[in-house]
Amino acid sequence: MTAAPENPGALTAEVSDAVLTAVGVTKRYGSTTALADIDLAVGRGEILGLVGHNGAGKSTLMRVLAGRERPDDGRVTWHAGGEWTQKSAADAGVRMIYQELALCPDLTVAENIALSDRAARGWTWRRRAERDIADALDTVFPGHGISIVRRTSDLSMAQRQMVEIARALCTPRLSMLILDEPTESLSVDATRQLYTHLRRLTEQGISMVLISHRMQEVLAAADRIAVMKDGRVVEVVATASTDEDALLAAMGGEVRADTATFRRVTSDAGDKGARSEGVVARVAEAGSRPFVVGAGEIVGLAGLAGHGQDALLRRLWANARGATVTKRRAYVPGDRQTSGIFPLWSVAENLTVSATRRLSVAGVIRSAPKRRLAAEWVDRLKVKGGARAPITSLSGGNQQKVLVARGFAADAALVLLDDPFRGVDVSTKNELYALMRVEASRGRSIVWYSTENSEMAHCDRVYVFRSGRIVSELSGDEITEDRIIADSFGESRTEEPVR
C-alpha cells in the first residue's frame, strides 16, 4: 500500500515501491494537446483511481501507460527498466480493459480468449482457452450464466463486460490492470463481485489504475485518487483524506448529478390525463394491464439488468406484435460501438442521419439546414471537437452526447433510450437530464432504461422488471432506489409479461 504525497505535485518521488512511473508525459493530436506534462506513479499492490470529466485525457493517458501509444514528450518507465512499448508492457503483464469492448463479435467466448493468449499453440488451444475463461468467470462472477461456446455478439452488454474483464485476468504473470469504466454495464451484484476480486489481487501485489465516473465506487476501491482536468493531473490525494464534493470541485466545480431538480411535479389528475389522452405507445397482453406511454411523459424502465427492459425497447422500436406505437420514433442503442456510431463519419453526419426526412426536398438533402442542425446540437450539448471532427476522435462521453442528440434531432414523437448515460460524467448527465425535461415539456415522450436506479428519479413513472415481466409501476414519491430494488427482488400482485 502506498501513501499519498504531502505535495500533490511530487507525484513520482513520493510513491514508495513504484512499479510504473510517468514523467513529463505530453501527447498531441494535430493542434490538440490531449496530455500536458503529466507526472504520475503507480505503487505495487495499489489501486490508483483516476477521475475527470469527459475529454479530460483519462483514456489517452491509460493508452500511454499501457504502451499502446507513445508520448510526444516525456517518458514512461517500468520498475524493471527497458523501453516502454506495447510489447514490453505485455511481456511485463500489464493489461488494459477498455471502456469500448474489444471482443470479436463473430467468435465464441473461448475463441476470443485464445485470440489474445500469446501462448495458445498446438491442438489443445481450444481446451486451454475454455478452461481458463471458465475458471476466471466462475472465480470473479459466480452465477454469471455465460456459455463459453456462444458467440460474443449473442451476449448482453453486461455479459460482454464480464468476458472482457475475465479475459484480462487470464493474462499469465499479470502485474498491472488498467480498468477504463469497468462497471458501467454491470449489475450491482456483479460490480460488488468485481471489486471484491480486485482487492484480492492487490493483496497479491498486482497494481491497478481505475477510471470511473462513479465517484462512490472510486472512493470505496482506490488507495489514492488522481484528478485530471484539460489534459493535466491537477491533484493526487489519499482516498481517506477526500470526499466526492472535493473531487468534483477539483475537476472543475460542483457538478453532482442532480436526481431531483428536473423531476416534474404532477397531480394524480394530471398524470391520468397524460396517460388517457394522446397515448403514443402501448404494449398490451391478454388479461393484464398494458404498458402505456402518454404524450410528454418520461417513463423509466428499471430493475435488475437483463430482465426484459431492452427487449421492451426493441419491441417498441420494431412495433412488434401486441405493441401500438406512433410512427415517428427514434432509438438510441445501448451499445455505442456496435449499433451506435458510424466510425467513418464526422460528428455532423452521425448527428443528422436520423433527420434526413426533415432535411430533404424531393429526396435531396439540403446542406445548409444540415449544417445548422448539427451546429445547433453541438452547441446545445457542448460537444467537444465540433461538428466537423471525426466521431472516433471524441471521448466516449462526447460520442454518447452525439448519439443522444441524434435521437432528439429527428422529428420523433417518441424517443427510446437504452442506458444512454453509460460512461458519461456527472456534468454531462445533468445536461442530458435537463434536455429530456425540456423536450418532454414540448410534448415529446421518452422511454428510458438505465442501469443506475437513482437516475429513475427523473421520470414521471417507472415500470420495474423482473424475469422478463413488469412487476410494479411507480410514480411520484414512490420512485426511490430502495423501492425499485425491493420490487426487483420481491413479489408483486400484478405481473405483466414482456416478450
Q: Tell me, yes or no, whether 227 and 305 share the same domain.
A: no
Q: Tell me, yes or no, whether 399 and 425 share the same domain.
A: no
Helix (H, G, I), strand (E, B) or coil at 415: strand
Q: Residue 443 maps to which CATH number?
A: 3.40.50.300
Can you tell me the mean pLDDT for 430-455? 88
Distance CA 200, CA 478 (A): 39
Long-range contacts of 191-199 (CB under 8 A, 24+ apart): 191/217, 193/140, 193/141, 193/142, 194/140, 194/141, 194/165, 195/220, 195/221, 197/139, 197/140, 198/47, 199/47
Residue 481, amino acid: E
Q: Is the pLDDT of residue 472 over 60?
A: yes
295 C-beta neighbours (distance < 10 Å), count: 18
In tens, the pLDDT along 309-323 reads: 888 898 899 888 788
* 12 located within any domain: no
Q: Tell me, yes or no, whether 214 and 347 share the same domain.
A: no
Provide the pLDDT confidence category of residue 287 given band limits of 50, 70 and 90. very low
Cell numbers 489481487 label which residue?
Answer: 201
Q: Tell me, yes or no, whether 117 and 241 share the same domain.
A: yes
Report the percentage of the chain scoring pLDDT > 90: 31
* 11 located within any domain: no
Distance CA 229, CA 208 (A): 21
| Burial class (CB within 10 angstroms; exposed 0-12, middle 13-18, buried 19+) of 271 | middle
Q: Is the pLDDT of residue 291 over 80?
A: yes
Domain boundary at 226, 252, 278, which? Answer: 252
Q: Tell me, yes or no, whether 356 and 478 share the same domain.
A: no
pLDDT, averaged across the chain: 82
Q: Tell me, yes or no, whether 44 and 120 share the same domain.
A: yes
**Domain carrying residue 73:** 18-252
Task: Lowest mean pLDDT of 61-70, 223-232, 460-469, name the range.
Answer: 460-469
Distance CA 137, CA 164 (A): 10
Q: Tell me, yes or no, whether 394 and 486 share the same domain.
A: no
Q: What is the dihedral of CA 405, 406, 411, 417, to 10 degrees?
A: -80
- Report which listed range, 330-339, 358-367, 386-395, is most confident: 386-395
pLDDT value of position 118: 56
Can you tell me the mean pLDDT for 37-42? 94
Contact 350, 386 (CB under 8 A): no
Q: Tell me, yes or no, whether 169 and 293 share the same domain.
A: no
How many helices (H) and strands (E) in the chain? 16, 21
pLDDT value of position 356: 77
Domain boundary at 405, 440, 456, which? Answer: 405
In tens, the pLDDT along 232-247 reads: 999 999 999 999 889 9
Task: Lowest mean pLDDT of 88-92, 131-135, 356-360, name the range.
Answer: 356-360
489 C-beta neighbours (distance < 10 Å), count: 10
* Count of domains forming the chain: 3
Q: Which residue has the higher pLDDT, 359 or 258?
A: 359
The pTM is what? 0.71
